[in-house]
C-alpha cells in the first residue's frame, strides 16, 4: 500500500501514509467548497470530497441551487493506495498551490451540472477550535478544521444555462476537516440505544466576508443551550495580522413560520471588556445540503458508504417539492447578506450562514423533532 507520498518525510505514525493512526471506522478527511455569484439569482454551488481510509472509500458530490432547481451529481469509488489521487469518476480536485489555489471540476455528461473552476484565496487559511464530543463511552466527534475565503473563476453550467465565472462577483469559502465523525453505513447503537441521550444538533456555522476581513462563527448547542462549540474570530485578509477573537456568541433566530428554517438571525459577540460586535444575517438563498449528497437523509447513499469500485449518479429535484419533514433533519447552507455593527461602524458583507435546529431546543421552544415554529 505504498504511494508516492511515502517518499516524503511527513509520516506521523509507524504506518504508511495510506493508513491513519486510529482504527476507528469513522475517520475521514474532507474538502468542502461553496461558490456564489453576485446575487440571489445566481447559482449557489456546494462541492465536497471525502476520503474514508478505514472504510476503503472515496466519494464526492456537487449540489447546486438555482431558482427552484436542486441538482446533485455524486460519485463513489474504492480508495486506492495513493491518497493524493483526488479524482472520483467525473470529479477532480487538484491542489495547484497549497493553501492558495485549488481547481475543482465535474465533466460534462453526468446530469444537469458541470464546471471547471479555480479557487484563489484572498486571505490566509485559519485554524478553527478542535471539535470534540463524546456520547457515553463513544467519541462521536473529534475533528480539526481550517477555513479560507477566496475568489472563483472558470465555467459553470446549470440545467442548460452557462455562466462565465469571474473573480470579484464570484466568491465563496472552502474548508478542510479531518478526524472522527459518523460516516458510512449506520452502526449498531449498542448501549446508547437504551440511554436517554438527546439527539439535539443545534448548529450555526457562518463565514462572513467583509472588505478586509472575514468573520468565522461556530456554535453547537445541546437541548438546554449548553455549548459544545462557541467561537467567533475575525480573520484579516492581511496574512501578517493575527486572527482576533471576538468573544462569546449569542443568537436570536427568526424562523419561517411552520418550519425550522432561518428567516433572519442576529448574532452578538461580547468580549470580557463589554465591547459588542453585532451582525444581522439576511439569508437570500437556501441550499438544502443534505438532499442527495450523503449527509444521512437517504439510506442508500451516505458519506463513506460502500457503493462498489465506481458508481456515479445524479438527481434533479424541485426545491418547492422537497419533503418538509425531511427538511427538519437537514443542515441548510444559506447564501446570506450580513450587516456588521462595531459601535458606530457599519459594513455590509456576504457569505455562508449554515444552520440546523434538529431535535428539542429550549431557547426556541422546540420540544421534539417534528414541531415547528409558529
Say which residue the cell 459577540 belongs to.
269
Q: Would residue 18 count as lying in a domain?
A: no
> Is 245 contained in some domain?
yes
Cα torsion angle, 270, 271, 277, 279, sign:
negative
**Domain encompassing residue 143:** 26-186+196-358
Instruction: Classify residue 322 as exposed, middle or buried by CB count within 10 Å of its CB (0-12, 13-18, 19+).
Output: middle
Domain-located, residue 8: no
Alpha-carbon distance of 150 to 167, in angstroms, equals: 9
Closest CA to 43 of 89, 99, 106, 86: 106
What is the pLDDT at residue 1?
83
Cα dihedral 244, 218, 47, 86 sign: positive
How would you write the pLDDT of the chain (374 residues) with one tens digit per residue?
Answer: 899 899 999 999 999 999 999 999 999 999 999 999 988 899 999 999 999 999 999 999 999 999 999 999 999 999 998 888 999 999 999 999 999 999 999 999 999 999 999 999 999 999 999 999 998 888 999 999 999 999 999 999 999 999 999 999 999 999 999 999 999 998 887 877 776 666 899 999 999 999 999 999 999 999 999 999 999 999 999 999 999 999 999 999 999 999 999 999 999 999 999 999 999 999 999 999 999 999 989 999 999 999 999 999 999 999 999 999 999 999 999 999 999 999 889 999 999 999 999 999 999 999 999 999 99
Residues in Cβ contact with 349 at an 8 Å cutoff, skipping those fewer than 6 apart: 208, 209, 210, 211, 337, 338, 339, 340
Residue 366 located in a structural domain = no
Give the model's pLDDT for residue 199: 82
CA distance 170 to 276: 31
Number of structural domains in the chain? 1
Q: Is residue 15 part of a domain?
A: no
What pLDDT score does 111 carry? 96
Q: Is residue 365 part of a domain?
A: no
Residue 177, φ and ψ in degrees, nearest 5: -135, 155
Instruction: Give pTM, 2 decimals.
Output: 0.96
Q: What pLDDT shows up at residue 344? A: 84
Q: Is residue 280 part of a domain?
A: yes
- At CA 97, angle to CA 114 and CA 32, rounded to 5? 45
Angle, CA of 132, 137 and 138, to the nearest 5°? 55
As a residue count, the chain comes to: 374
Q: What is the CATH number of the domain that holds 218?
A: 2.40.370.10
DSSP letters of 165-234? E-BTTBEEEEEEEEEE---SSPPP-GGGGGS-----EEEEEEEEE-SSEEEEEEEEE-TT--EEEEEEEE
Does residue 20 sit within a domain?
no
Cα–Cα–Cα angle for 55, 57, 63, nearest 5°? 125
Amino acid at each position: 500500500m505504498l504511494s508516492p507520498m511515502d517518499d516524503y518525510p511527513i509520516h506521523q505514525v509507524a504506518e504508511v501514509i495510506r493508513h491513519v493512526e486510529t482504527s476507528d471506522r469513522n475517520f475521514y478527511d474532507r474538502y468542502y467548497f461553496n461558490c456564489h455569484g453576485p446575487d440571489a439569482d445566481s447559482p449557489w454551488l456546494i462541492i465536497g470530497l471525502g476520503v474514508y481510509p478505514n472504510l476503503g472509500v472515496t466519494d464526492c458530490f456537487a449540489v447546486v441551487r438555482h431558482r427552484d432547481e436542486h441538482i446533485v451529481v455524486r460519485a463513489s469509488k474504492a480508495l486506492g493506495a495513493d491518497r493524493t489521487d483526488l479524482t472520483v469518476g467525473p470529479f477532480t480536485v487538484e491542489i495547484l498551490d497549497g493553501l492558495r489555489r485549488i481547481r475543482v471540476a465535474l465533466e460534462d455528461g453526468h446530469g444537469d451540472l458541470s464546471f471547471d473552476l479555480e479557487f484563489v484565496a484572498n486571505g490566509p487559511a485559519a485554524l478553527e477550535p478542535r471539535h470534540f464530543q463524546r456520547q457515553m463511552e463513544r467519541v462521536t466527534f473529534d475533528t480539526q478544521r481550517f477555513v479560507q475565503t477566496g475568489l472563483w473563476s472558470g465555467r459553470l453550467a446549470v440545467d442548460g444555462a452557462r455562466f462565465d465565472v469571474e473573480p470579484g462577483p464570484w466568491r465563496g469559502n472552502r474548508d478542510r476537516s479531518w478526524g472522527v465523525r459518523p460516516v458510512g453505513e449506520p452502526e449498531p447503537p449498542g448501549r446508547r440505544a437504551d440511554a436517554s441521550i438527546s439527539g439535539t444538533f443545534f448548529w450555526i456555522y457562518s463565514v462572513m466576508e467583509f472588505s478586509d476581513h472575514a468573520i468565522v462563527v461556530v456554535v453547537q448547542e445541546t437541548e438546554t443551550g449548553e455549548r459544545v462549540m462557541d467561537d467567533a474570530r475575525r480573520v484579516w485578509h492581511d496574512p501578517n495580522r493575527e486572527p482576533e477573537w471576538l468573544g462569546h456568541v449569542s443568537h436570536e433566530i427568526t424562523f419561517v413560520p411552520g418550519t425550522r428554517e432561518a428567516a433572519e438571525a442576529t448574532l452578538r459577540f461580547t468580549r470580557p471588556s463589554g465591547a459588542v460586535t453585532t451582525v444581522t444575517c439576511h439569508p437570500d438563498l437556501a441550499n438544502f445540503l443534505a438532499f442527495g449528497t450523503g449527509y444521512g437523509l437517504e439510506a442508500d447513499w451516505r458519506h463513506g458508504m460502500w457503493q462498489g469500485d465506481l458508481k456515479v449518479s445524479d438527481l434533479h429535484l424541485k426545491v418547492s417539492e422537497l419533503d418538509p419533514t425531511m427538511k427538519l433533519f437537514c443542515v441548510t447552507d444559506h447564501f446570506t447578506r450580513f450587516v456588521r455593527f462595531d459601535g458606530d461602524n457599519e459594513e455590509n458583507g456576504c457569505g455562508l450562514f449554515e444552520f440546523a435546529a434538529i431535535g428539542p431546543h429550549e431557547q426556541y421552544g422546540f420540544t421534539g423533532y417534528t414541531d415547528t415554529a409558529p
